[in-house]
Structure 1
Amino acid sequence: MARSDPARVVRAYLDHLAVERATARNTLDSYERDLRRYLAHLDAAGHDDLGDVTESDVTSFVVGLREGSEDHPPLAASSAARALVAVRGLHRFAAREGILANDVARDVTPPPPLKRLPKALGIDEVATLLDMPPTDDARALRDQALLEVLYSTGARISEAVGLDVDDVDASERTVLLDGKGGKQRLVPIGRPALAALDAYLVRARPTLARKGRGTSALFLNARGGRLSRQGAWQVLKANAERAGLSATISPHTLRHSFATHLLEGGADVRVVQELLGHASVTTTQVYTRVTVTTLREVYATAHPRSR
């Protein structure tokens, strides 16, 4: 098959869209912009014949859009997907017109959205949050114990509110959590959390329990029943507002902070995986990106020749 100049094929494709498909001007401008980037990518890869382009060339182009370069910032997933539509349209057109023997872009799919890094509080911020509940009534003592347990064990909010009194073993300093898929795991719990739990169990839970019909639940609501996930989230949210941390809080904030602080303290990622109850270590490894980001920021501000 004769050599096919990439720029000429792009021009023919855009003309086809404008004349035969009556594509809107704004769409044509977007396609032209994306295809100019694609031509630059092919040129950098040494391809002056569209027939030499492979599926991996198309894939690396889209991945490069998401990761960014010195010349271009990273594109959002939606923008990278739009660029891929233009490139796939180009190759489909070239194959249909007999310019290319095969459509190498047909099976290329957009890369998945980049995982957002979990937000973690600093150690001082966690200390401020845990000191927020005033300890002068039953609900405040419950709230103090709940927040301590969430940070000390890395439990999901649903796991914490699912605890029964007997799931806490103070002598062994462990808590039995019911995780996703009905999988249980035994995790350690720190002395501050145990102290907060003891204060709650002795001075507050009996008061709350009298208002209900009897339950084995560890954390009770104002009516004496099991505290709901929504109720626990409100506890976290209210105390975050008191601590001035409401902008950075989410239901998983203390869990994220637990994992990040362990890794920053030198814990092995597979140990953290077990503590969090992740089925795959790949899920846990997102936290290693958090710690690397922190190290990079410290390096950039502290090292005299970091820039």
Structure 2
Amino acid sequence: MSSAETADPEDPIGYFLQDMELHGKSRRTRREYGRLLERFESFLAAGTAPSGEVGPAGASHRDCMAFVHDLRQDPDLADSTVATYAAYLHRFYAYMTQVGAFEANPMALVMEELDERIDTDPTRREIPVARMRTFVSGIRHPLERALVVALLKTGMRVGELCNLDLRDLALSRELPGYDVGSRAQLDGRPDSLYVAAEPSVGESYNGETRSASNKRKRGTVVPVDDELERTLLRWLAVRPDAVSPAEPLFVGTASGWGERLTPEQVQRIVRRHATEMGWYEPGAGAAENVTPHYFRHFFTTHLRERTGDRGVVKYLRGDVADDIVDTYTHNWGDNVRETYERHVYSLYGPA
């Protein structure tokens, strides 16, 4: 789809929803996006936006912040719902920018700040590291433990986890039968993972159409410590041959044998173990329930407390702009790996 074919649509919301249909999004999903985008359009048309802009195409980041603030004042909307609606608006702008219809995504800065607030929400369940070790020790299946430990040790999103391929993993140890770490970004950086920014739902990436999107502002090299390495090696020792030529890192071992895991499958695995631990109750919401996204909150909270370095944590989360990414990329060994390995919590021992 070229930008010439998509430039300046007269009805950007209708255009976006039509493309969602073409990408195979369900009617329910399109309806949810439509309601939120129509609410945003009405907010702008009312003339209450800071810039005075009356349409989505020209809205500024301050207009978007004002809209999110307006959502927060709605007594019928929970904080988690506001966060979901903000993500919908962000995806709308990201897509319209990508196809050339809009010049920029004003929600990018808003989402960076919103992510900070969400992940430090004091109402969330707070789990000590020692208690999380107990949780991990109760997970016996090599795949399920590898999924949970990878999320806890890296802070990546569940979609990013599912999009990992063998080429995205570099280990010092030889793995007969596996072609790992072939990414150029991993040259000279053993024991690390590369989390790309490009994979997008419905699009072909590394020869496979993806069922999830990565949400990083730029690709990130994340250290793999000894505990995560041992966990991944245990998983790779029993990993079925992959169906996809992209060689996903995580594939099914039951139904969908050898097929790339989806975020929904990972969520079900985490929900089952969290329920057994008493950490999940249907309808309880994000403040109480432990989900894959909770592990991102856990990673952020505990690593930030231990390092005192917001920059390194934001880099690892993939939340920072290009200039900050470049700072850590150019001195990756000292600024990222050394800081990470010195401070990361242990999931198997007393450290």
TM-score by length of 1: 0.49
Point out the structure with max Rg over C-alpha: 1
- In terms of fraction of residues, the more helix-rich structure is 1
| TM-score normalised per structure 2 | 0.43
